[in-house]
Amino acid sequence: MSETHKNRVAAVIVAAGRGTRAGGEIPKQWQQVAGRRVIDWTLAAFRTHPAIDEIVVVVHPDDVERLADEQNLIVVQGGDSRSQSVSNGLRALEKNAPDAVLIHDAARACVSSRVISNVIDALDQFVGAAPGLAVSDALWSGDDTVSGVVDRSGLFRAQTPQGFRFAQILAAHRNAPEDAQDDVAVARAFGIDVAITKGDPDNIKITVPADFERAERIFRSRVPMTVRIGNGYDVHRFGDGDHVTLCGVDVPHSRSLQGHSDADVGMHAVTDAIYGALAEGDIGQHFPPSDPQWKGAASEIFLRHAVELATSKGFAISNVDCTLVCEFPKIGPHANSMRERMAEIMGLPADTVSVKATTSERLGFTGREEGIASIATVTLVRT
């Protein structure tokens, strides 16, 4: 029953449990992990699999409305036990019965396409098939102390989806023992042989709070790295004063830079580079110069906002390169202080921030010492 087969395959997603051990105010399948509900990840795994033709979701009566906006799903209410819930899901398929059905726990949101395919392919030869992982850890028996060692040979950790030819598993569930732990147990009690297919260590069942963190790491590891690069450029002219503020450091000078805020040309360029990498405009859009509340404001306010915006979008700043263009004041003696201050504001290691200077060989407005320009490049990374 490979992915090119003509047989119809349905999936029954069991999501009617309450999952109290996972914590939270709502059942685990409706909680968020990696930006989506647990059940949304599960549904996506089956919706995107080319061999799955139909999906039934079995939910608690109180949760039916949680799937009200979903398309192309059959939603049915669960029963008092897992076995009863699965039976309800199978009966929903009975009128237009598929050739095979995969029964899957909604809490196994990290299931891969390969695991699903392995089960479907095995159903070409077997009435039932389910993924399992051979037990590799030593097994003990005992209570507070070890009373014995259990032979792990031939032992497997059961996973889902558990797949079956539809007619046989429907009949098995009509005669299911009340204490059946899963659908393999139901099938075996009915005399159905179940093949063991290759499981996946990442196909975890979210059960306790720590499992959400583990699932998050699994999902993040599957997303290709996203790298964005932004450029920033800023200019401020000289006016009366006795110092300039550059990259957060006050540098003594015979003149000061003029601007609506503190005119920190270096910090402005870096801020705009971050906004640019995020496709979020520039400082003027976020902090309009027409707004009097920003008159004389410290530029670190703008920079912190840009960094927080990047973080909220899931990006981390990989490195910052800022170049100050001026004849005077001399930047070299202050460059380390500048990079340390910028790194502090952005919450970065100092060795990821570069602040350097160049002249324009006495050409242009910077060469005539009319002002200072700054160019910045920032790299953002999301994994």
- Residue 225's nearest CA partner among 108, 33, 341, 382 is 382
* pLDDT tens string 139-175: 999 999 999 999 999 999 999 999 999 999 999 999 9
pLDDT given for residue 91 in this prediction: 97
- Alpha helix (H) ranges present in 235-280? 265-277
Query: In one letter, which amino acid is 342?
Result: M
DSSP string, 134-147: E--S-EEEESSSEE
At 21 the pLDDT is 87
Give all domains of the chain, ordered by start, each with its CATH number.
9-222 (3.90.550.10), 226-382 (3.30.1330.50)
Q: How many CB atoms lie within 10 A of CB 344?
A: 13
- CA angle 279-283-288, nearest 5°? 125
Ranges assigned E (strand) in 7-127: 9-15, 32-33, 36-37, 54-59, 74-77, 100-105
State the pLDDT at residue 5: 47
C-alpha R_g of the chain: 31
> Closest by alpha carbon to 267, among 322, 318, 327?
322
SS3 state of residue 313: coil
Take residue 223 and report the two structure tokens written for it: 């997303």
What does the alpha-carbon distance between residue 110 and residue 217 come to, in Å, rounded to a whole number?
A: 10
- By the 8 A CB rule, do 301 and 341 touch? no
Q: Look at residue 179 in the predicted model and tell me its pLDDT.
A: 82
Mean pLDDT by 10 residues, the chain (383 residues): 69 92 92 94 96 97 94 94 95 97 98 98 97 95 95 96 98 90 96 97 96 94 88 97 96 94 96 98 92 90 97 94 97 96 96 97 96 98 78
